[in-house]
Structure 1
């Protein structure tokens, strides 16, 4: 049983996290501060340390050096791109935003300490350990071909374009490419291009100088420079504005980046891995994507097959998810009934693995049988419309988990160039709180009601009488 140490000064969060991890079969110890953690425990005895960034006394990042080889995962309520990059640069293995989503937290923990289990599981499915990819399940011919291509491409410096439908696991492939490369001792910076407003993305990617625009009170390093020596993963690169595409092309051609407002360029050594579900060649012909950038990034293309083309892999994935959710919700280990297996194999899964995850989680929650899950609990129908996965607290624009830039939808309101994400949040709330309920505001911003309330408190934005009455309605 893997041992985990939680270092968190808030009792409610510490207890909730402990219970979550214990339900997932981890042995958990606790401490409210770095000082108590180091005096009470030998940090090297743990398989993972999960620590809040801001603690009384020393910050959580101090544990990175003190823990030696034990990986440290950082939690932070201040889930800005900067704090995430800084903590990972100091050696944190990953970070999760508070309030954390349970699935995101469990996934992050398993990714860090579950590589050996992933290799054993792949071997049980007929794959050799050398072919295993952490977090990916499947022994179909198309997946074995994908694994082989990943292993061949990863050690090289080649730019990679990952193509696949939504929910097929493009970020898992990007992470595998990074971890099997010679850059794995440096950062992999992940950015969802669709989640950052057009007017902010150049500043986020390439940085800016003090005074470059209104509100630029200090120099800021961009994410491209933060990935120097490592890997830059641009998810949904097809959503990148043309102006930013031109700057990215210079990074790839010249190996240098120039922050906004600067007259000097800085040399960077970055490997680019890009992903998209769109046809970039078609976009290039329509003038919506730079053709020269398309040819530059399309050195090696990896295509992820949709779930409907992976044969029996669907059942292997479903059974793995079933085990995970049974453990998470404290239920006895269930199995799929024969009619459930038939239904899963017959359905086209337009939402791919993400939709399958939702179906299995829903089935486990609703199941009253102590032994098996029937097809009726899956709530899938060949004629049913595709349902979009709900945005969780761990996948939101202002509280990202794992992927910098988040997975929330792009804000619909235009943002001026002098606004940071915090400024945009404040302006949006003030301008719309008289016409929207708190629930509507949270949904538009891609955050939870709790996150909206916490940010109101921190930014000093009181709820008006109109907004309160709107909520009451």
Structure 2
């Protein structure tokens, strides 16, 4: 059983992560500071998960005190650049707060698998000079249907190469898990996988975040900073929502793909980088090239190998398997290990179209687990016919009655509720205040802000 040490000074976060990992089957110890961690002999653990900012010494100090143990750094998005610096110091990965349970578990599984692969590789090399044994994508993602088996086959074939990959799929289908599988099964598995949500970074900062900047390059640039692409040197860079990149950043990214070099903002010097590029989008990039929203030359550079993750409605035979997997996990977390679906609930799960895909299914199971008083999940607990209480998407948005969304009415059935929300906010935020947007969406201003944070939609009007 892998042993994990959590170093976090906030009691609530430390307790939550500890319980999450214990329910997932790990042996866990925790500490409030680097000094406190020393008493646990940190180099005897399989993984250390540490907050970046701690009382006394910083979390990165554990990299030096436990040189044989991988360190996963937790940080707020505001400290993202510091997290990148920590990876340059030797941290194996970072995870931005707030994170959901699956994101943390996926990161832990990835790091431990990478560590195991490295150990196996060394043993194999000592014995016969052969490389590490490949893991199966089915250990990282779930899917028994023919469509997912084709995805797994494609991942196995393309992962060992240096080919650029474009992952396409609707929101909630698991594109980031596919990127993790590609990285984990590649020769770069021992190097960092840097994940970037292009839609979550303000347009004014995207070039600085990706390429870095020199001191004095712009107001506020008080020191030189390393960009995320450079931080991924030797490893893989996952660019999620690549269709949201502004035009100037697209041109600079094209140079990275063509010349394998970057130039920091404010610098006249270029430097070579060795990065495997993996991009993902839920948008039609080919159509965007015709409207001028996306560079055609960049599209063809990215689209060397394409992997399409099928929506859940095309994975009918996987629905119950996924549901049982999520139910087991949620039951263990909430101390309800004997939960099961009623026959009616299973039929309801199979009949639902799942516009939010796997993410929607997981949320439905979590909600039902919380509400269930006995051991049987009924259809009413799944609540598949509603949009989640007061936080609803109005009919004007779904049916296309709003003049701003009419042109998308034909494709409405292919969009998830999150897509509706994102489209409505982006189309109307320049002419509506935050209060008006919230009223039109039928949610509170607080809920609007929380959804912006979750979906990575920046506010364009600072005075609203």
TM-score (structure 1 length as normaliser):
0.75
SS at match of 1:198: coil
1:304 aligns with 2:287: no
Q: Cα deviation per residue 1:184-215 (whole Å; 9 max; x = unaligned)?
A: 22222111111112222112112222222222
Question: What are the residue-to-residue correspondences of 1:122-141 with 2, within 5 Å?
Answer: 130-141=135-146
CA distance in 2, matches of 1:200, 1:60: 26
| Structure 2 residue aligned with 1:53 | 52
Answer whether contact 1:193 1:234 (CA < 8 A) is retained.
Answer: yes
Give CA-to-partner distance per residue, 1:82-111, whole Å, 9 cap, x none.
122122333333333456545544444444
1:269 alignment partner in structure 2: 274
Residues 300-309 or 248-257, more deviating: 248-257
Supply the distance in 2 between the matched residues of 1:41 and 1:153 (Cα, whole angstroms): 41
> Helix, strand or coil: the match of 2:316?
coil
Q: Give the structure 2 partner of residue 295 of structure 1.
A: 300
> Compared with structure 1, are the counterparts of its residues 22 and 184 closer, same or farther at alpha carbon in structure 2 (3 Å cutoff)?
closer
Q: Distance in 1 between matches of 2:28 and 2:259?
A: 49
Pairing partner for 1:373 from 337, 360, 377: 377
- Asked if the contact 1:115/1:134 (under 8 Å) is kept, the reply is no
- 1:207 is the counterpart of 2:212: yes
Structure 2 residues without counterparts, runs of 5 or longer: 117-132, 393-418, 428-432, 439-443, 454-463
* Gap change, CA 1:2 and 1:211, over 3 Å in 2: closer
1:278 alignment partner in structure 2: 283
State the alpha-carbon separation in 1 of the partners of residues 192 and 422 from structure 2: 25
| 2:361 pairs with one of 356, 364, 380 | 356
Structure 2 CA distance for aligned equivalents of residues 251 and 215 of structure 1 = 26
Partner Cα separation in structure 2 for residue 59 and residue 188 of structure 1: 23
Distance 1:432 1:236, change over 3 A: closer
Q: Equivalent residue for 2:399?
A: none
Q: Name the SS for the 1:249 alignment partner.
A: helix
Match of 1:3 in 2: 3
Q: Distance in 1 between matches of 2:274 and 2:108?
A: 29
- Segment drifting more, 345-354 vs 75-84: 75-84
Tell me by how many angstroms 1:363 deviates: 0.7
1:149-207 per-position Cα deviation (integer Å, ceiling 9, x unaligned): 11110111111111111111111111111121222222221111111122221121122
- Cα distance between partner residues in 2 of 1:178 and 1:106: 17
1:220-369 map, 5 Å: 220-369=225-374
> 1:290, CA displacement in angstroms?
0.8
Shift of residue 324 of structure 1?
A: 0.8
Work out the CA distance in 2 between the residues paired with 1:101 and 1:131: 24
Q: Which runs of 5+ in 1 are unaligned?
A: 118-127, 391-406, 414-430, 449-466, 468-473
For 1:367-410, what per-residue CA distance to the aligned partner results, in whole angstroms no more than 9, with x for missing partners? 1122x2112211113xx5699999xxxxxxxxxxxxxxxx9979
**In structure 2, how many angstroms separate the alpha carbons of the residues matched to 1:145 and 1:106?**
25
**Separation in 1 of the partners of 2:319 and 2:194?**
30
Which of the pair has the greater relative contact order for Cα pairs under 8 Å at 6+ separation?
1
Q: In 1, distance between residues paired with 2:232 and 2:26?
A: 32
Distance 1:78 1:297, change over 3 A: closer
Is this contact kept in 2: 1:354–1:389, CA < 8 A? no
Query: In terms of mean alpha carbon deviation, does 66-75 or 323-332 score higher?
Result: 66-75
- Over 3 Å counting, the alpha-carbon distance change for 1:368 and 1:113 in structure 2 is farther
Aligned residues: 401
Q: Which residue of 2 aligns with 1:216?
A: 221
